[in-house]
A and B are shown apart, each in its own frame.
Chain A
Amino acid sequence: MSFSEIQKNLLKQVADIESIPTGAYNIRTDGKLHSRNVSANIDIVSKKDKDGIDIIIKPFTKNERVDIPVILTKSGLKDLVYNDFYIGEGADVIIVAGCGICNTGKDASEHVGIHSFHVGKNAKIKYIEKHYGEGDGNGEKILNPTTEIEISEGGYMEMETAQIKGVDSSVRKTIAKLDKDATLIIKESIMTHGTQFADTDFYVDLYGENSSAHVISRSIAKDNSRQRFISLVDGNNKCSGHTECDAIIMNNGIVTAEPKINANHIEASLIHEATIGKIAGEQLTKLMTLGLTEKEAEEQIVNGFLK
Chain B
Amino acid sequence: MIELKNICFTAEVDGERKEILKDINLTLDDKLIAFTGPNGGGKSTLAKIIMGIITPTSGKIYFNGEDITDLSIDERARKGIAFAFQQPVKFKGITVSDLINIASGKKLKVTDICAYLSEVGLCAREYVNREINSSLSGGELKRIELAITMARNSTFTIFDEPEAGIDLWSFKSLITVFERLVNKSNGTLLIISHQERILNIADRIVIIANGQIKTDGKKEDVLPEILSSSACQVLTSKTEVAQ
Whether chains A and B associate is yes
Query: What residues of chain A have their CB less than 8 Å away from a CB belonging to chain B?
Result: 218, 246, 280, 282-283, 285-294, 297, 300-301, 303-307
Are B91 and A288 in contact, with the CB atoms below 8 A? no
Check B2 for interface membership: any CB of A closer than 8 A: no
Are B93 and A294 in contact, with the CB atoms below 8 A? no
Q: Given known contacts A290-B77, A291-B102, A294-B74, is B148 in contact with A305 (CB within 8 Å)?
A: no
Contacts of B214 on A, CB cut-off 8 Å?
A: none
Contacts of A305 on B, CB cut-off 8 Å?
A: 92-93
Q: How far is the CB of B134 from chain A (nearest CB, A)?
A: 12
Contacts of A280 on B, CB cut-off 8 Å?
A: 89
Query: What residues of chain B have their CB less than 8 Å away from a CB belonging to chain A?
Result: 51, 53, 72-74, 77-78, 82-83, 85, 89, 91-94, 98-99, 102-103, 105, 148, 152
Q: How far is the CB of B167 from chain A (nearest CB, A)?
A: 24
Are A246 and B99 in contact, with the CB atoms below 8 A? no
Are A287 and B102 in contact, with the CB atoms below 8 A? yes
Q: Please classify the interface of chain B as helix (H, G, I), strand (E, B), loop, or mixed, using the class held by over half of its residues.
A: mixed
Q: How far is the CB of A244 from chain B (nearest CB, A)?
A: 12
Q: Given known contacts A290-B103, A291-B77, A291-B105, is B94 in contact with A246 (CB within 8 Å)?
A: no
Are A285 and B92 in contact, with the CB atoms below 8 A? no
Are B102 and A292 in contact, with the CB atoms below 8 A? yes
Contacts of B152 on A, CB cut-off 8 Å?
A: 290-291
Are A286 and B92 in contact, with the CB atoms below 8 A? no
7 A–B contacts, CB within 8 A, in A order: A283-B89, A285-B53, A286-B85, A288-B74, A290-B99, A300-B102, A301-B94
Q: Given known contacts A289-B83, A290-B148, is B98 in contact with A304 (CB within 8 Å)?
A: yes
Which residue of the partner chain B has the closest CB to A296?
A: B74
Which residue of the partner chain B has the closest CB to A286?
A: B89
Are A291 and B74 in contact, with the CB atoms below 8 A? yes
| Complex CA–CA separation, A283 to B73 (angstroms) | 13
Are B78 and A300 in contact, with the CB atoms below 8 A? no
| Complex CA–CA separation, A304 to B94 (angstroms) | 5
Q: How far is the CB of B162 from chain A (nearest CB, A)?
A: 15
Which residue of the partner chain A has the closest CB to B151?
A: A290
Are B94 and A289 in contact, with the CB atoms below 8 A? no
| Complex CA–CA separation, A306 to B148 (angstroms) | 23
Which residue of the partner chain A has the closest CB to B76?
A: A289
Are A290 and B92 in contact, with the CB atoms below 8 A? no
Q: Given known contacts A291-B105, A300-B102, is B94 in contact with A285 (CB within 8 Å)?
A: no
Which residue of the partner chain A has the closest CB to B93?
A: A304
Are B91 and A301 in contact, with the CB atoms below 8 A? yes
| Complex CA–CA separation, A289 to B72 (angstroms) | 10
| Complex CA–CA separation, A144 to B105 (angstroms) | 41
| Complex CA–CA separation, A286 to B141 (angstroms) | 13
Which residue of the partner chain B has the closest CB to A285?
A: B53
Checking B53, B72, B93, B102 against A290 with a beta-carbon cut-off of 8 angstroms, the contacting residue is B102
Counting chain B CB atoms within 10 Å of each CB, which of A280, A285, A290 scores highest? A290
Contacts of A293 on B, CB cut-off 8 Å?
A: 74
Q: How far is the CB of A191 from chain B (nearest CB, A)?
A: 13
Are B77 and A289 in contact, with the CB atoms below 8 A? yes
Which residue of the partner chain A has the closest CB to B80?
A: A291
Counting chain A CB atoms within 10 Å of each CB, which of B53, B72, B82, B94 scores highest? B94
Contacts of B105 on A, CB cut-off 8 Å?
A: 291
Which residue of the partner chain A has the closest CB to B94?
A: A304
